[in-house]
Each structure stands twice: as structure tokens, then as C-alpha cells.
Structure 1
Amino acid sequence: MRQVWSHIQPSLLALLFTCALAPVAWGTQANPLVFLHYWSGPLGGGVDEMVQAYNRASPDYKVHASAFDHESFKVSIKAMLASDSPPDIFSYWAGAKVRALVAGNHLAPIDEVWNESKLYDVFPSSIANACTYFGHKYALPVTQHYVGFFYNKKIFDQYHLEPPINWEEFLATCEKLKNAGITPLALGSKERWPAQFWFDYLLLRTAGPEFRHRLMDGKVSYNSPEVAMVFEEWKSLMYADYFNSSPNLMDWTDAASMVHSGSAAMTLMGTWVIGYFQDQLKWKQETDFDFFPFPLMDRSVPATSVGPIDVMVVSRKGRNQEVNAILAFFSDPGPQMEMSSGSGALSPSRAIPPGFYTKLQRRILETIRNTPNWAFNYDLATPPEVADLGLDAFKLFLYNPKEYRQIIIELDKKAEAYFNNSAPN
């Protein structure tokens, strides 16, 4: 069912896709509703099963799922939304990215789905708030991912290492691994976004969630002692040779494969890596790999968990007469569990019984519930234009850590210019 488009230039891909979508009778067998998403390749688990479950349950209307490569999707969806034939439903990331599409009048509100299906009883208030923009519901949550350290359990067992709780223990663990000839930290930042998790957690663990929130909103400067401290700490990890060489030449799966092979011990990544370890590399949870939260750095700073929430949204210009029934179906426990099983993510729904999850997932869920704060990762927490600036800065820093102060100054100038120009008159 799933078509994966990963080797065509994104703008051409968008043109080919939109040309194929002429106005037709909605959702019939011959012309199914089009659901475009980015769950492809190593991120592809669960979505086909969820769509197939709907198509089996609906004899009259069908959904056709098409998958784009994750990076191509980010570019192509903008061109499609600007056309006259966008996809009817598509996946997206809750937070600043959805907000930007709503502000651009690209999405249709789905308050009716939330009200008629009583989704306020299904999803926690924090999740419901993440689906609300300008007073209306625009998104249906599908997965909730958590970012933490995923590590090679056999290496930790071999060297009698316990998951570190605080920063001193973390540094000692890294040093012991390095002395044993094992790269402590694997990072693949070729596509930029994996590096953001390091910035996020170093900032949240030192400056706290309130400062970080103000930074994301342009209320405080990147050229501040708090941000400088983040880059200084990050630089010290690099200069200690705790990271693999040339992280910008590797992607996240390369980093995960280093952990799998034993050439590296751990990687800071989202729970989608569970599906990659389990389905692609045939590793077993809690036997071959395990996880631990990002260690505490300052006990006076309240802890925060980081991660994205994947949602489904409806194109304003799509064929959406019957979309409500499809979204309501995807909010049910069965489809939510299908997606969770395949992706490694937690379901945002509280209707899912804890016994459904694996022991590893239950421990992650417990970690989230016991952490007082939740934050979207960097590129979902600040406007997309600023996120691009930041992701470029992180990648540049990884090439040349000693120049971080100049990198911060340039980032601050560009971010300030954006926020000043976008401020209401």
C-alpha cells in the first residue's frame, strides 16, 4: 500500500503528486482519499496497519496512504498546500509547525471531530492543548515520542556500568567507555535535526523550561550566558572525544547502527529508534538495548522531558466531506495501538491500557509521567524560520566547536531580525 518517494527532487515530486490529484468524487473505491505522511523507511512501522484497519472497516470509502522520505516531505508538503490539489489528510508535527500552517490558512479545523467523538475524554489536557491553535482544534494526535539515551546493554553490562542519574556520573561513564576504546556517544547530524536534542536538554537541564520557553518565543537573546553555557558544555564533550568523529557526515540510523555494532555505546534519540533497533536490526528490548533519561545537571532546575507529537491534519482545500469519520476511527484504541506497535512510540491516548506496552515502553511512560514538564523539541518549539537558523547553527558548531561564540552572535542577529519583523504593529 505504501509508496515511498525518496530519490526524486522534492519540488518535482510535489508537482508530480499534485498533478495526479484532479478533482474527483470523494473517497470512492476508484478515487480514495489521499493520506500523505512521512513514516517511511526506518520510520515506517505501524501506519500501513492502521490504514488497512480502516479500509477493512469501511466498505464504501477507502484511504490511500503515500509515504514521502522524511526530509523530502518537509519541502514537498509546502508546495502541495499551495496547489489546488493538496492531499486530503497528512501527518505533521504538533507545535510551531502546525501553528505556521494554521496561520497560513492551509488547514481546516476539526472541532467537530473532537466534540462528537468526545476526544477531550480520550486525550490528556496537555495533548489536547498541543492540538489547539487560535482557539480551535486542528490536529488529531497519533504518536507521542520521547527523546532519551538508548544504549548497548551488553557493553554496559560488560564494563559494569549503570545508567547515570546525574551529570557527574554521566561524565564518568563516558570516560570509562573512552578508555575502553569505545566511542561513548554516537551522533548522526547529516540531516541537522538530531543535533537539536543536545541543545534542548543541555539548555533545559541548566537554564530551565521557563528560560527556554522565552528563548523559543524571542523574548530573550541567544547571545546570553545561559546559551553560551550550553555550547561550552557541548564543546567540552566534543573536545573530550566522547562523540564519534564527523557527525555531520552520518544520519541518525548510522549513529544507531554504531550502537548496535558496539563501536559506540549510546545515542541521544527519540523512541522511533526502538522500531529501528527491533525491526531493522533485530535487537531485543531490555536484552540488547535499553534507555535512560538525560541526566540531571542542576538539582535546582525542574526536570523536563522532550519529544515530538505526531498528528494528522486536514487540508483546507482537500476533499474533506467525510474526513471526520476517518479521524474519529484513527483516534480509537485499536488503530492507536497498531501505530504504537509498529513505530515504538507511545500512544497519546489514555484509553490504551498500560499492559499493552512492552516493559521498556512502560518505563518510558512512567518517566514521562514522573517528570513535571514536557517540551517539544527545538524545531517544533520555535517558529520554522528561526528553527532553520538554529539547526544550521548547531550543524556549523559541530564542524567548528571553538567558534561557538561567533555562531551564537550570528544566530542571535538573524533570530532577532525575524522576531522584530514578525511582531504585530
Structure 2
Amino acid sequence: MDTFKKLAGLAAVLLMSASTLMAGDLVINADKSGVAPKQAIETLIAGFKAKNPDVNVILNNFDSEGYKSAIRNFLTANPPDVVAWMAGNRMAPFVEAGLFEDVTALWNKEGLNTTLKSAASAMTIDGKKWGVPFTYYQWGIYYRKDIFVKHGIAVPTTWAELIAASQTLKTAGVTPFAIGTKALWPAAGWLDYLDLRINGYQFHMDLTAGKVPYTDPRVRAVFQKWGELAKMGAFLDNHAALDWQDAYPQMVQGNAAMYLMGNFLVAPLKEAGLTNDTLGFFQFPEIVAGIPRAEDAPTDSYHIPAGAKNKPDALRFLAYVASPEAQTAMNEILQQLPVSNVAKAADDPFLQAGFQMLSTADGLAQFYDRDAPAEMAKAGMEAFQEFMVKPDDVDRILERLERVRLKVYK
């Protein structure tokens, strides 16, 4: 009997030990399979473990495309404790399905409404926060400084100045804007910025959420401004046959002066021979005075699944993700921007300019094909490309988009 009791006691101790060990396991599913993203998440986990040695982190790292297909399945069937995902409307389906945990209390406790202020709206649905953002990158207009100087052009700060600069360039035989729309998405940057500058952030979010008809006069106003550039020939003539990489050599060669694009454009431009002396950056100009300034800034984030087994440690992990220490270290590796306005951006003039611009923005859109559902995004981007080639067909194009909207957002 005594032996039996001893064995039973030992079993109980072992069971308690196993239970304690399991409680300290933190399972993270992510899509950081590229060289820099993989190094960044490994750095993140190492920093977290140094501060939380009692937590055993288990990382399941997937390739990006496979992850997009798998995430809904594992959130439903076998949720990890933390998942990597994207902000804005990309997280909305999981929030609406009850698959993401409300982390509003963490934001309040850690002061994140201040330090992560620029991305707060992108992490908010129904007044609640559903994750923590850790990196983004800016969009804006990259330009040839030397071409501007040669033709006496100052950096435009208003739409009228942008139009005037474009007319000066056209007269000089320089195409104002390089762009390649073969892959469709580069045209969406123009829709985003024109709508954000004319109608503002909330209207743009309502449009991509299907709450506004594409035939609305406010949407027509966006296309009217866009048409001013299209009709003057401000874009490369054959842009519909070019990928975005096919267009930037025209800028390198001096045949085009500007490019509305994400900050990932800088590396290939520099590899092709441009330098900080010849390449500059400015934010998309004001169109309607008084509209609070919002920007396109695709934002990556971490979330806690509603079915997570270890939510206390998951909250500790998200708090660390939000810290300036973690955000500085990760984005130094990624060569992107920390969302925390008390973190440090890498010592690069374009990243520094982007950090200042985004950390003081009133709101951040995620880009049209992230903010709109896939079917609407595809139809929208096809329409934007067509409009840039045939701006006089605007009525037919918008009516077609409205039919798609009514179908997609039933």
C-alpha cells in the first residue's frame, strides 16, 4: 500500500510538472520564411525569451502563400497562441468570425494608444483593438531631384502644384510619372491617395468596405482628378504592358521624373545607379484643404487567436512586440519602419522620411487590395488600369464597378 501511495504521489508530481511545462509553452504560427523576415522573427523571439525565460516558445513558420490558405483552418481547428497576420480589413473576417481575441486592455495598460497611435485605426474594429502592429512601410512619390532642378520645379505640396510640375515636364519631353500596371496593383495606389486626399480616411475605409456606391459623386470626384493626369499623358504610354519593375528604368534613364510607389522601390533604383543626391521622396500632395492626412502603409501585425491555450503568455509576447526595443531591432533587419513612435528607424534618409510621415499620420490605409475583398479588389484594379488608358470611359467603368460591389457585398 505504501509503495502504491508513493507511486501515486510521484505520478501526481510528474503530472503537475508536465502541466506546468505545458502552461509555459507559447505556440506561434507565422509566415516569415524569407531571409530577412525569418531573421527578424528569430531576433524577436530571442529578445522575448531573454526577458521571459520561463516561457518555451514553439515557432511554426510557413511560406507566405501557404499560410494565407491555412490560417482560417488552424484558427478554427487547432489554434496556436499567437499568429502573424495583417492589419485593417485583412483582419476583419477573423474578428467578425470570433477567431481573434480582443486585446484592448493590453493597449490601455501598455499605453499603446500613444506609442502606436498612427496604426491604431488600422487595428480597431467596433471600438476594440484586435492585435499589435510591428512593421509597415511608406508609400509616396519618389522623384529625380536633378530633373526637378534642371526644369526649375519645386517639390509639389498641393494638387495644383503637381499638375503644374507635370505640365512643365511634359513640355520638356519628360513623362511625369513612371508606372507599370500589367500586374494591376500599382494603379490602386493612385485610387487610394486621391480618395484619401479628396474624401478622407473614413470615407476610403467605407468605400473599400462596400458601404459607398462607386457611382457616388464623391467617387466620381476622385476619377475627375485622376483624369486630369491621364488626359495630359502624365503616365508612360504603354504602362498596361509593363510590370512595375519594367517602368523604373525609365526613371533611371531620365525619361520619367516621378513614381508613386512603396519604399521597396528605393533599392532597385539605387542598384541601377541613382543616389541620395539624385533620388528624392515627398508625400502625396494635399488636394482638399483641411482633410486630415492619411497615408498608405501596409502593416503587419501579431494577434491572439480566441481559442489560444496560453493567453497570459501570448499577452506578454504582444506587449514585447509593441516595445520600442523589439520594433527597432526587427525593422533594422527588415529595412522597414517601426510602428512605435518611440522606436528608432534605420539610418537611411528614405526610412527616416517615412518614419516621420507615418508616425504623424492621422490614419493608415492598408492598400486597396488589402482593404477590399479579393473579388472587389480584382475588379477594381482592372477598372483602374482601364481608366488610365481610357479616361473618357469613366461612366461605364464606374457603373461596372457598382454592379460588382452589389454582388460582392450582399
Q: Could you tell me which of 27, 30, 40 is aligned with 1:36?
A: 30
Matched to 1:175, the amino acid is Q
Matched to 1:402, the amino acid is D
Deviation at 1:210, TM superposition (A): 5.4
Q: Distance in 1 between matches of 2:171 and 2:287?
A: 23
Partner of 1:107: 100
Q: Distance in 1 between matches of 2:252 and 2:333?
A: 20
Q: Which runs of 5+ in 1 are unaligned?
A: 1-24
State whether residues 294 and 365 of structure 2, in contact with CA within 8 Å, keep that contact through their aligned partners in structure 1: yes
Structure 1 window deviating more from structure 2 (193-202 vs 395-404): it is 395-404
Q: Could you tell me which of 157, 174, 184 is aligned with 2:176?
A: 184
- Which SS does the other structure have where 2:91 is aligned? helix
Q: Distance in 1 between matches of 2:323 and 2:360?
A: 26
Q: Distance in 2 between matches of 1:301 and 1:108?
A: 33
Partner of 1:140: 132
Deviation at 1:367, TM superposition (A): 3.8
Q: Could you tell me which of 282, 285, 289 is aligned with 2:279?
A: 289
CA distance 1:68–1:277, change in 2 (3 Å)? farther
Alignment deviations for residues 171-227 of structure 1 (CA, whole Å, 9 cap, x no partner)? 232233334443321223344332222112222333444544543454442113332
- State the TM-score, normalized to the length of structure 1: 0.73
Partner of 2:327: 336
Q: Distance in 2 between matches of 1:91 and 1:315?
A: 10
Partner of 2:6: none
Alignment deviations for residues 61-94 of structure 1 (CA, whole Å, 9 cap, x no partner)? 456474645xx46853556547746776443331
CA distance 1:96–1:330, change in 2 (3 Å)? same
CA distance 1:64–1:186, change in 2 (3 Å)? farther
Q: Distance in 1 between matches of 2:392 and 2:67?
A: 31
- Which SS does the other structure have where 1:311 is aligned? strand
Matched to 2:295, the amino acid is S
**Pairs within 5 Å for 1:161-172:** 161-172=153-164
Matched to 2:147, the amino acid is I
Q: Distance in 1 between matches of 2:210 and 2:144?
A: 39
Deviation at 1:150, TM superposition (A): 1.1
Query: What percent of counterpart residues are identical?
Result: 25
Partner of 1:19: none
Deviation at 1:39, TM superposition (A): 7.8
Structure 1 window deviating more from structure 2 (225-234 vs 96-105): it is 225-234
Q: Could you tell me which of 86, 93, 117 is aligned with 1:93?
A: 86
CA distance 1:121–1:378, change in 2 (3 Å)? closer
Q: Distance in 2 between matches of 1:47 and 1:158?
A: 44
State whether residues 152 and 266 of structure 1, in contact with CA within 8 Å, keep that contact through their aligned partners in structure 2: yes
Q: Could you tell me which of 165, 174, 190 is aligned with 1:173?
A: 165
State whether residues 27 and 33 of structure 1, in contact with CA within 8 Å, keep that contact through their aligned partners in structure 2: no
Q: Could you tell me which of 325, 334, 341 is aligned with 1:350?
A: 341
- Residue 383 of structure 2 corresponds to residue 416 of structure 1: no
**Pairs within 5 Å for 1:1-400:** 33=27, 35-37=29-31, 40=34, 45=36, 48-55=39-46, 58=49, 61-62=56-57, 64=59, 66=61, 68=63, 72=65, 76-77=69-70, 80-81=73-74, 84=77, 89-110=82-103, 114=107, 118-120=110-112, 123-134=115-126, 136-209=128-201, 211-274=203-266, 277=269, 284=275, 286-299=276-289, 301-316=291-306, 322-353=313-344, 358-368=348-358, 374-382=364-372, 386-398=376-388, 400=390
Matched to 2:31, the amino acid is H
CA distance 1:85–1:78, change in 2 (3 Å)? same
Q: Distance in 2 between matches of 1:259 and 1:74?
A: 35
- State the TM-score, normalized to the length of structure 2: 0.75
State whether residues 47 and 339 of structure 1, in contact with CA within 8 Å, keep that contact through their aligned partners in structure 2: no
Alignment deviations for residues 338-383 of structure 1 (CA, whole Å, 9 cap, x no partner)? 33334443311132257x6544444444444666555443344455
CA distance 1:82–1:347, change in 2 (3 Å)? closer
Matched to 1:91, the amino acid is A
Matched to 2:262, the amino acid is G
Deviation at 1:149, TM superposition (A): 0.3
Q: Distance in 2 between matches of 1:26 and 1:177?
A: 65
Deviation at 1:409, TM superposition (A): 0.4
Matched to 1:348, the amino acid is V
Q: Distance in 2 between matches of 1:192 and 1:235?
A: 17
State whether residues 134 and 299 of structure 2, in contact with CA within 8 Å, keep that contact through their aligned partners in structure 1: yes
- Which SS does the other structure have where 1:171 is aligned? helix
Matched to 1:244, the amino acid is L
CA RMSD across the alignment? 3.9
Q: Which has the larger radius of gyration?
A: 2
Alignment deviations for residues 358-412 of structure 1 (CA, whole Å, 9 cap, x no partner)? 4444444444466655544334445555444423432343454433211100111
- Which SS does the other structure have where 1:143 is aligned? strand
- Which SS does the other structure have where 1:312 is aligned? strand
Q: Distance in 2 between matches of 1:193 and 1:26?
A: 44
CA distance 1:159–1:343, change in 2 (3 Å)? farther
Q: Distance in 1 between matches of 2:209 and 2:354?
A: 29
Q: Distance in 1 between matches of 2:394 and 2:203?
A: 20
Q: Distance in 1 between matches of 2:290 and 2:126?
A: 34
Deviation at 1:267, TM superposition (A): 1.2
Q: Distance in 2 between matches of 1:392 and 1:209?
A: 23
State how many pairs are aligned.
385
Q: Distance in 1 between matches of 2:29 and 2:267?
A: 22
Partner of 1:405: 395
Q: Distance in 1 between matches of 2:322 and 2:292?
A: 32
Deviation at 1:236, TM superposition (A): 3.8
Alignment deviations for residues 123-142 of structure 1 (CA, whole Å, 9 cap, x no partner)? 34453443233454321111
